[in-house]
């Protein structure tokens, strides 16, 4: 990173939908984002000073790689969920230190899990499981994610049975 790179915080998820559910899901995400921004503004707060970014892709399909014997990447947020066909990748972006940003993100994330139960995966390199203490601190979301990735963790533990590549939670 260069010294002049804009630093941002980004709540980011992949929402899985069927092909015919893309427009409805995008509308719901944008409407909720806009509604919450207005609610916070009414209370005199401006926690988000950037954008809601969205893009849509197909789900990951190993046959599309054209490599015989390809297997799915177990931690990919693009792996199909319950037969999903499309992924809506979205980020809610702001700069670090914006007052009420963690509260906004936590509120938005609660809505996400209610609106898209069983259809969400976090975008690993971004912020998620947000509480007022910051990212990766909401235990209820962390428990959901742990359960979703349990099969991958079991394979990891089997392949790295000596813990060479592991770390302690605070290590």
Task: Please report, for residues 62, 145, 147, the alpha-carbon distance to residue 152 in angstroms, rounded to integers and kept in the order given.
Answer: 17, 11, 10
| Arithmetic mean of pLDDT, 124-138 | 94
For the chain, the domain total comes to: 1
pLDDT beyond 70 at 137? yes
Where do we find the tokens 């742990």? 146
**What is residue 167's predicted lDDT score, i.e. its pLDDT?**
67
Query: Is residue 167 in some structural domain?
Result: no
What pLDDT score was predicted for residue 12?
96
CATH for 144: 3.40.462.10
- Domain span at 117: 9-159
pTM of the predicted protein model = 0.88
Given CA atoms 170, 15, 113, 94 in this order, what sign does their dihedral have? positive
């Amino acid at each position: 990173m260069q010294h002049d790179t804009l630093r941002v915080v980004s709540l980011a998820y992949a929402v899985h939908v069927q092909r015919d559910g893309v427009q409805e899901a995008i509308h719901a995400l944008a409407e909720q984002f806009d509604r919450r921004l207005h609610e916070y503004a009414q209370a005199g707060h401006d926690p988000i000073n950037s954008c809601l970014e969205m893009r849509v892709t197909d789900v990951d399909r190993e046959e599309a790689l054209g490599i015989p014997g390809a297997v799915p990447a177990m931690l990919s947020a693009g792996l199909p969920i319950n037969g999903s066909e499309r992924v809506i990748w979205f980020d809610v972006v702001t700069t670090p230190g914006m007052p009420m940003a963690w509260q906004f993100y936590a509120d938005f994330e609660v809505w996400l899990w209610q609106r898209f139960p069983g259809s969400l995966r976090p975008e690993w390199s971004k912020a998620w499981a947000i509480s007022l203490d910051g990212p990766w601190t909401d235990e209820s979301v962390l428990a959901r994610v742990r359960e979703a990735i349990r099969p991958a963790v079991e394979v990891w533990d089997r392949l790295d049975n000596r813990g060479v590549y592991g770390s302690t939670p605070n290590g």
